[in-house]
Amino acid sequence: MNYSSNSNYVIINIKYRRGLDREIHHHGFILPLFLYSTTACYITKSLRRHVSPTSDNCYKLQVTSLTSKFIMCTKSLPYFLSGLVVRGFGRGSKALGIPTANLEDKVVDNLPHDLTTGIYYGWATINKQTYKMVASIGWNPFYKNEKKTVEIHLIHNFENDFYGKQIKAIFTGYIRPEKDFTSEEELIQAIKNDIAVAEEQLQKSDMMAYKNNPFLKE
């Protein structure tokens, strides 16, 4: 693995193979980098303290063996939103075993145009209680949705649903872009990975601080 940087960007060159995480550690880097497929690698927000920032807080990753380049921009974060929970497609709980709170259309319609679709993590308040969360913004390629949605999974076990309740959320970090999957099992595993990433990142002091943000307490 080769590493190079200048004042504007950082490039990490990785020759892909199984056990990529071990290869990174062998080179002395302990980075929150996750490989989701043989065609894409993504860098989480916490990598910032290890590498040089790009313009607009973007990071460039080049996987030389796949000739793929990915740029992640987090200039829109943290992002604050509030809205009512509505009925979605009913897939989160029934098909996946991972319930989500689907937000009303006006919340989706008012999203910033430069807010990238994909998987985020952060904090959400419902019924005056604040929880860690992972959220999806986009079209869910696996299900080929024709309608853009915002779906929030609260990392907690609940006995009841939240239809008609107001939810407030702060999106504090970005995990990965939307991705299609070959099976529901693969999708479920990806979501579990996303939840694990969210829980790890939200333990960090800069992310924990958002839990007590006045926006979530109003």
Which active-site residues does the annotation give? 151
Q: Amino acid identity, residue 115?
A: L
**By three-state DSSP, how is residue 91 classified?**
helix
Determine the Cα angle at 130 with ends 128 and 135, to 5°: 120
Contact 137, 121 (CB under 8 A): no
Supply 121's token pair. 């993590």
* Length of the chain (residues): 218
**By three-state DSSP, how is residue 153 classified?**
strand
